[in-house]
Amino acid sequence: MDKILEAVVMSSYPNNVKQGLVRRVIEAAKQPMDSEQCWSMLELSTKLYLTGDTKYKREIGKEVLEVYGHYHPEEFEEFFNVRFLLSLLQEGYGPLGKRSHYVLDYIQLGLQFVLESPSANSIFSLLRIEVLRKVCERPSPKLCAKISKLLTQYPQCIPTGKHQLLFCQQLIRCIGQFQCVSEGEEEIMEFLEQVNKVSGLLQRIWRTQTSAILPSLKELFTIISSTEEQEAPSNALASVVQFVPLELMDGVIRNLTNDDSITDVQMMMAIGRMIDWVSWPLGKNIDKWIIALLKGLAAVKKFSILIEVTLSKIEKVFSKLLYPIVREGALSVLQYMLLSFQHSHEAFHLLLPHIPRLVASLKKEDSNSATSSLEQLAELIHCMFFRFSGFPDLYEPVLEAIKALPIPNEDRIKHLLGQNAWTSQKNELACFYPRLASKSETGKIGLINLGNTCYMNSIIQSLFMASDFRHSVLNLTEGNSQPLMTKLQWLFAFLEHSQRPAISPESFLSASWPPWFTPGAQQDCSEYLKYLLDRLHEEEKTGKRIYQKLKESSLMSQAVEHHYLNKTLIEKMFGGKMMTKIRCLKCLNVSSREEAFTDLSLAFPPLDRNVRGSTSILPVEEIGPQFIEPPENAGQLMGSPWIRRKAPKASDHAVPPVSVETLGFQEPGEAANPVHGNDVGVDAAKDPLSTFGEQACAPKDSRSVPDLINYFLSPERLTAENKYHCEKCASLQDAEKVAELTEGPHYLILTLLRFSFDPRTMKRKKILDNVSIPVVLKLPILVAPEETDEVCQRGKDGAVPGSGFMTVVYDLCSVVVHSGISSESGHYYCYSRECTDTVPHGQPRDGVPKPASDKQLDFEIQWYLFNDTRVSFSSFESVSNVTSFFPKDTAYVLFYRQRPGRQSCLLHEALAEAGRLHGEPSLHKDLMEAISKDNILFLQEQEKEARNRAAYISALPKSPLWWRDLDRDKDDDSSSGGCSPAAGGGGSGSFHGLVF
């Protein structure tokens, strides 16, 4: 019978003819037959099944085996013996090698016919040993899947006792070496199915033998934490984790993170490879295990590991959001990584270039998954904006990309940030940030945030950028009696000459700290600035004169020396004077009081008050590049209301003071268009926020700095409960109060009073109104009539004969921005530029330096953005638009520098001459040595940190190049068709290139 079957199979007859003949042979096999004939048929069918060169031959062999196993069980048991199976497993069959998966298929086929036979136990015992041996030989994914299929169908073949645990561990090692050698989607699907069969076998074993789970996980961790492997273990290991019961998670993570035998390098390697598992499709709970381990590391304060892993892996995790099949898990991990990384903006900023492209791809996909992910991503981005405010130049493209997506409320943002932070002990992270960083390309140096000290950092940088003040501080020689000024000098010197990207102002903070400030809490930068300037002023008043060097150089005349050297440095730089007059409306008596100020606090006028139109008496005039000249109709101008002590008529309105005028809204290349008339108090050529014309009114939510100054200088009625006690009348009377500037400071500091007390909520609230900021500001200064006439006769300044006022021009040099909605929270950063007298030496105009044109001042002088440790280039456009893009980011404190004029030319000349003689301030020896030593120390620290980081980074698993999809051009079509990141649908083909 075997000869007939062999002849039929090997013949050239058509398959349908062969099938008929084979069917007869098989039917005959169901009849009784001698053992020798059965043996011959079993040998032939085995040969056909194992070595047949066509699928047809193997199917015939399989069919014959099944018939003889069913109808001739004794002969089949005798043939299918232990010795034969051992030979198959250890030596193969003829040309068929022992690693052929047909061997396992053959054994699995035959086992069903010997289950009840006396030899069954012997066969199972053999197979338990042989499958363990085969797994230890690291079989291919296909062969390993065949073993798993065999053991899943016949669990009697699964190793038992100690061998069972060893089998689990070796099976995990096999999975760790799985690699898919093809990029075709069918091959990938087949590979995934093979991996799932193998990991499914582990799940089956763990269900019946829970004691094997933890040792198996230990083996898994050993594999992924190994630093000796040349090639990274396969991401297929992710399939193992999904079957670990979640109730074991806390205990497993706790044991791992508290195991002293696990080094930081091993832990970093392990968590880095686990994060790579977000690429594994169809896995369950992988993101939960990754996040749990990250949280476990945070609990034991392994911040260095978390920082390095986050910064090296976050872009890769972000890129997985392009693929629907792994998007949910990747987004989960990304959310935790970003929300927990709250000590620095570095991780979030790595993603900024990629966000617009991802958002565009998700919008194009237009699936439920993409829509949901977009909303979650937008919420996450707004949380990062809230936490790391102060980077408008970087955030504008991202804000534009997500502008149509929902914005979470502040409570939701605070909840998410508070829920996920690594630690509330911010100082614990100080040693990890700033990491090995290069100095800003601007050449400027940042200041480290010591725990909500951005308010101080912004003020220090603004003072440092006030170049006249900085040079004066650096030129100081005697500091024994001025400890705070000495510390400021040291801080300025390090900001000027240090090679570090950022320095710590810790010493200055402790010295300048207002005693009522709460450590670690956000503070009001304006309050700090006032306290600092007052401390410096009082310190100098009670000590030796600090301008001794300038005096000894005999650069100033005796008159100037008498006028200026009697002042402290703070008075010279920031001091102005203001006259407050109160007129009793009954007796018309005027009382006046002159007082000094270092800043003007500007309240917001009521929304229904038209400050621009109601307070002006001077016509609008364009400020050109030359010095301000008196207007031709100066004789028609009215003066200050009470200089002449003229009694008002009942029908008269209160006469306002001279208005503030501005310039600085021109677009590049456009000239300002002067607007004539005497009813408009603001000169803001091309102001995008205002409409000019008679009695022009700004929109309700639009204000300008001149509006606020005009409101500050406008008369105030004292009536009802606020009546004035007139000494002449000896009773409370209605009165009128007005403030007039009598001396303009060299640096004008303006504080916009944005924080007001709300009696309903009993809290301070913030006024979020946008305030347009002019780059050039004209300020009216009251002078005595005889001085005005003298000045006018000599053609100096902007004095108007008989008006009592002269105009002083100021250029914007710094803007401190508050981001947030409360003075007790939020963030401060500042925009600054160097304002100097840009005039070639030897080209004065009547002895007065010629200032640069306003266009030059606006567009040619470089602006910088100072945000704690980060310093970047910026522009006046960014300063002007910051609130438009970020409504909670509002200008709070402004620094203006006075242009050289007759009133201030003596000081300007002295400062300029000192600068020409001495160049950059020469530091005293101790300070120079301290800076040199610190620079050397920094280089040593860099070298040491580079070595340490190299050890950490070398431990991180190398990421394959394929994940950098975000850096490809949009037209890059190099990937296989149908699997591009933007392909919608999210079918099984959407994970091409993900796994391997």
Q: Which domain, by its residues, includes 465?
A: 454-494+502-643+654-842+875-923
| CA 542 – CA 522 distance, rounded (Å) | 31
Average pLDDT over residues 879-885: 87
Joined together, the tokens standing for residue 983 give 């392909």
Whether residue 893 has pLDDT greater than 80:
yes
Joined together, the tokens standing for residue 466 give 């006030």
| CA 71 – CA 471 distance, rounded (Å) | 107
Residues 753, 700: contact at Cβ < 8 Å? no
pLDDT score for 70: 87
Residue 304 lies in a domain: no
Residue 609 lies in a domain: yes
Residue 430 lies in a domain: no
Q: At what angle do helices 483-497 and 525-541 cross, to 10 degrees?
A: 120
Residue 752 lies in a domain: yes
pLDDT score for 439: 74
Residue 932 lies in a domain: no
Residues 565, 472: contact at Cβ < 8 Å? no
Whether residue 684 has pLDDT greater than 80:
no
| CA 581 – CA 591 distance, rounded (Å) | 6
Residue 974 lies in a domain: no
Helices (H) and strands (E) in the chain, counts: 38, 21
| CA 819 – CA 885 distance, rounded (Å) | 12
- DSSP assignment letter at 608: T
Whether residue 373 has pLDDT greater than 90:
yes
| Each residue's pLDDT tens digit, 565-586 | 578 899 999 999 999 999 999 8
- DSSP assignment letter at 923: P
Sorting pLDDT into bands at 50, 70 and 90, what band is 668? very low
| Each residue's pLDDT tens digit, 147-167 | 999 999 999 999 998 899 999
Q: Which has more pLDDT, 370 or 840?
A: 370
Sorting pLDDT into bands at 50, 70 and 90, what band is 818? very high
Q: Which has more pLDDT, 255 or 972?
A: 255
In the three-class reduction of DSSP (H, G, I as helix; E, B as strand; rest coil), residue 905 is classed as helix
Average pLDDT over residues 757-783: 85
Across 189-198, 220-229, 382-391, 407-416, which has the greatest mean pLDDT? 189-198
| Each residue's pLDDT tens digit, 919-951 | 455 778 888 889 889 888 887 887 777 676 666
| CA 101 – CA 109 distance, rounded (Å) | 12
Sorting pLDDT into bands at 50, 70 and 90, what band is 133? very high
Whether residue 985 has pLDDT greater than 70:
no
CB count in 10 Å sphere of residue 132: 19
DSSP 790-841: HHHHTT-TT--TTT-EEEEEEEEEEEEEEESS-TTSSEEEEEEE-------T
Half-sphere exposure of 972 (CA within 13 A, CB side): 13
Half-sphere exposure of 145 (CA within 13 A, CB side): 12
pLDDT score for 433: 47
Q: CA of 549: how far to CAs of 297, 475, 561, 751, 906, in Å?
A: 57, 8, 12, 33, 17
Task: Please state which of the ranges 123-127, 183-187, 202-206, 365-369 shows the lowest mean pLDDT.
Answer: 183-187
Whether residue 375 has pLDDT greater than 70:
yes
| CA 744 – CA 811 distance, rounded (Å) | 13
Joined together, the tokens standing for residue 366 give 């237009």
Residue 247 lies in a domain: no
| CA 684 – CA 993 distance, rounded (Å) | 58
Sorting pLDDT into bands at 50, 70 and 90, what band is 202? very high
Proportion of the chain above pLDDT 90, given as a percent: 35
Sorting pLDDT into bands at 50, 70 and 90, what band is 94? confident
pLDDT score for 909: 59
Average pLDDT over residues 213-237: 88
How does 577-598 read in b/e, with b if 16+ C-beta sit within 10 Å? bbbebbbbbeeebbeeeeeebb
DSSP 839-881: --TT--BTTBPPPPPHHIIIIISPEEEEETTEEEEE-HHHHHH
pLDDT score for 482: 84
| CA 379 – CA 628 distance, rounded (Å) | 51
Proportion of the chain above pLDDT 70, given as a percent: 73
Could you tell me where the DSSP H helices lie in 445-505?
454-465, 467-474, 483-497
Whether residue 847 has pLDDT greater than 60:
no
pLDDT score for 644: 35
Q: At what angle do helices 55-71 and 101-111 cross, to 10 degrees?
A: 30
pLDDT score for 83: 93
Sorting pLDDT into bands at 50, 70 and 90, what band is 913? low
Known catalytic residue at 72? no
The torsion angle over the Cα atoms of residues 261, 264, 265 and 270, rounded to 10 degrees, is: 80
Q: How would you classify residue 677: left for phi > 0, otherwise alpha for psi between -120 and 50, otherwise beta? A: left
Half-sphere exposure of 674 (CA within 13 A, CB side): 10
Residues 754, 818: contact at Cβ < 8 Å? yes
Known catalytic residue at 454? yes
pLDDT score for 418: 79
| Each residue's pLDDT tens digit, 466-502 | 999 999 999 887 666 788 999 999 999 999 888 889 9
Provide the number of structural domains found in the chain.
Answer: 1
Average pLDDT over residues 901-918: 54
pLDDT score for 246: 87
Task: Please state which of the ranges 8-17, 35-44, 637-646, 869-878 shows the lowest mean pLDDT.
Answer: 637-646
**Annotated catalytic residue within 827, 830, 908, 979:** 827
* Longest CA span, the chain: 143
| Each residue's pLDDT tens digit, 294-336 | 999 888 888 888 989 999 999 999 999 999 999 999 999 999 9
What is the pairing mode between strands 600-602 and 747-752? parallel
pLDDT score for 996: 42
Residue 823 lies in a domain: yes
Joined together, the tokens standing for residue 264 give 């930081």
CATH number for position 818: 3.90.70.10
Shortest CA distance to 535 belongs to which of 487, 585, 476, 464?
487
| CA 707 – CA 661 distance, rounded (Å) | 9
| Each residue's pLDDT tens digit, 51-86 | 888 888 888 888 888 888 888 888 888 899 999 999
Sorting pLDDT into bands at 50, 70 and 90, what band is 838? low
pLDDT, averaged across the chain: 77
Q: What sign does the CA torsion over 557, 563, 567, 572 have?
A: negative
Tell me the residue type at 933.
K
pLDDT score for 68: 85
Joined together, the tokens standing for residue 817 give 């921005």
Joined together, the tokens standing for residue 74 give 């004794």
**Annotated catalytic residue within 454, 584, 726, 813:** 454
Across 544-548, 599-603, 632-636, which has the greatest mean pLDDT? 599-603
Residues 6+ apart with CB under 8 A from 372: none
Neighbouring-strand partners of residue 597: 576
| CA 697 – CA 693 distance, rounded (Å) | 9
Tell me the residue type at 387.
R
Residues 682, 620: contact at Cβ < 8 Å? yes
Q: Which has more pLDDT, 9 or 897?
A: 897
Whether residue 628 has pLDDT greater than 50:
no
